[in-house]
Amino acid sequence: MSSWLLAAGGAAAALLFTFIQGRLSGANAERNANRAKDADAYETHLREIADAAHARSAVRPGGVPDDKYRRD
């Protein structure tokens, strides 16, 4: 009877260990996916800023003209 109890306890411990390991690997995968998504969003943001700066200089090569009424 004692050997059955040991086998059942070992099986339960193995199942618990496998479940916890799966949860941790899933959390790591989610964290890595979020990091990649954030890095891509930041890269896109920097590219948009560079494109806007380039577009401004392409439209008004001399810069913004002075406004004598100071409306800006």
Percent share of the chain, pLDDT over 90: 61
Residue 70 burial by Cβ neighbours in a 10 Å radius (0-12, 13-18, 19+): exposed
Strands (DSSP E) contained in 1-72 are none
In whole numbers, what is the pLDDT of the chain averaged over residues? 86
Residue ranges of the domains in the chain?
A: 22-59
List, for residues 8-28, the tens digit of each pLDDT value: 999 999 999 999 999 999 999
pLDDT level of residue 33 (50, 70, 90 thresholds): very high
Residue 54 burial by Cβ neighbours in a 10 Å radius (0-12, 13-18, 19+): exposed
What's the whole-model pTM score? 0.54
The pLDDT, as a whole number, for residue 52 is: 85
Going by the DSSP 8-state scheme, the letter that residue 66 receives in this structure is P
Largest CA distance in the chain: 98
The pLDDT, as a whole number, for residue 46 is: 93
